[in-house]
Structure 1
């Protein structure tokens, strides 16, 4: 199995994404903030784009832990990776920082978007 760890130091904490290739598919673990946890799991499967342009897109199924808001991060990673690699992708994880500000939330979202490119 191939593994790749991507770490991004933010202005207020660190974010880690670990990508493991399992056969032709991928498992992603996202962790960060003061108390990393499992707040969400997303399963993304590749499919032909609905635009009919011959490109690959993806469809996701999501399981959230009640009260957690990690879906955006895990869903983004899973869907982008599934489409890019034409593979099934599971992303699990969570990010938590007490008293996080709107600006810090945007910083985390931007970091995740940059990490998967």
Structure 2
């Protein structure tokens, strides 16, 4: 499944691939797409005890890159939605990105149709 959205600061691309029972996500975009981070998320019962599923993640960052927030967010969200191990790698680069553009990017990640993809596979 491929999700793409034009943002004020560039295109966002999210490619989701099932790998057996697991999931690989490649996130890219902006003016210089790259691999700045990899996050491995594993689903687990929520610590709140409310019966929901959450995720625990491990992160590998490339020195100087700030892609952890977007890759972690998407990996953990997908792991909880799919109930499987998720690896999310990628990077979204924009020179001098503003706080508003970061908010726009994070909001766009909420539009990635994880539940729809899960049910259709």
TM-score by length of 1: 0.92
Contact 1:77 1:116 in 2 (8 A): no
Report how many residues are paired: 114
Moved over 3 A (4+): none
Contact 2:40 2:57 in 1 (8 A): yes
TM-score by length of 2: 0.89
Q: Residues 1-117 of structure 1: matches in 2 within 5 Å? A: 4-116=1-113
Aligned-residue CA RMSD (Å): 1.1
Separation in 2, partners of 1:14, 1:84? 25
Return 5+ residue gaps in structure 2 as ranges: 115-121
Q: Secondary structure at the match of 1:114?
A: coil
Return 5+ residue gaps in structure 1 as ranges: none
Contact 2:36 2:66 in 1 (8 A): yes
Q: CA deviation at 1:113?
A: 2.2
